[in-house]
Amino acid sequence: MSELNKIALKIISNGKGILAADESNGTMTKRLEAVNVNSTPENRLLFREILFSSESMKKYIGGVILFDETINQTTSSGKLIPDLISSSGALPGIKVDTGAKILANSSDEKITEGLDGLRERLKKYYKLGARFTKWRAVYIITEKYPSILAINCNAHSLARYSALVQESGMVPIVEPEVLMEGNHSAEICFEKTSEVIKKCFDELILHKVDLSGIILKPNMILSGDQSINKISNEEVSYKTLECLKNSVPSEVPGVAFLSGGQSELEATKNLNLINKNNNTNFIMTYSYGRALQQSALREWSKNIKDKVSTQNIFNHRAKMCSLASKGEWSSNLENL
pLDDT one-digit tens code per residue, 30-69: 999 999 999 999 999 999 999 999 999 999 999 999 999 9
Alpha-carbon span 314 to 108, nearest angstrom: 37
Say how far apart CA 91 and CA 131 lie, in whole Å.
7
Q: Is pLDDT at 336 greater than 80 in this prediction?
A: no
Given a contact cutoff of 8 angstroms between Cβ atoms, the answer to whether 51 and 8 are in contact is: no
Sequence-distant (6+) residues with CB within 8 A of 44 are 25, 28, 32, 69, 70
Taking CA atoms, 101 is separated from 109, 233, 273, 329, in Å, by: 8, 33, 35, 38
The chain-wide mean pLDDT, for the chain, equals: 97
Residue spans of the domains in the chain: they are: 3-333
Give 103-160 pLDDT, tens digit per residue: 999 989 999 999 999 999 999 999 999 999 999 999 999 999 999 999 999 999 999 9
Q: Is 3 marked active-site? A: no
DSSP 8-state assignment for residue 207 = T
- ∠ CA 10-11-17, nearest 5°, is 135
Predicted TM-score of the model (pTM): 0.97
Catalytic residue status for 175 = yes
pLDDT in tens, 266-321: 999 999 999 999 999 999 999 999 999 999 999 999 999 999 999 999 999 999 99
The CATH number of 3-333 is 3.20.20.70
Percent of the chain with pLDDT strictly greater than 90? 98
Catalytic residue among 23, 49, 109, 175: 175
Q: How long is the chain?
A: 336
**In this structure, which amino acid lies at residue 234?**
E
The active-site residue, picked from 217, 239, 264, 269, is: 217
CA distance 126 to 155: 24
